[in-house]
Amino acid sequence: MKIQIDGWKSGLTFSSAHFLPDYSNCSRLHGHTYGISVVIEGEMTEGIIVDFRIVKEKIREIISKIDHKVIISTEGKLEIKKGEEIEIKYKNKRYVFPPEDCALLPIFSSSAENLATYILKEFLKSIELKNISKIEIGVDEGYGQGAWAKWEK
Catalytic option among 30, 57, 68, 79: 68
Catalytic option among 102, 122, 136, 141: 141
Active site residue 30: no
Active site residue 32: no
What's the half-sphere exposure (Cβ side, CA atoms, 13 Å) at 142? 5
- Residues 25, 85: Cα–Cα separation, whole Å: 26
Catalytic option among 26, 85, 87, 113: 26
- Which stretches of the chain are assigned E, i.e. beta strand? 2-5, 13-18, 30-42, 69-73, 79-82, 86-90, 93-97, 102-105, 132-141, 146-152
Active site residue 26: yes
* Amino acid making up residue 54: I
- Residues 102, 65: Cα–Cα separation, whole Å: 9
- Catalytic center residues: 26, 68, 141
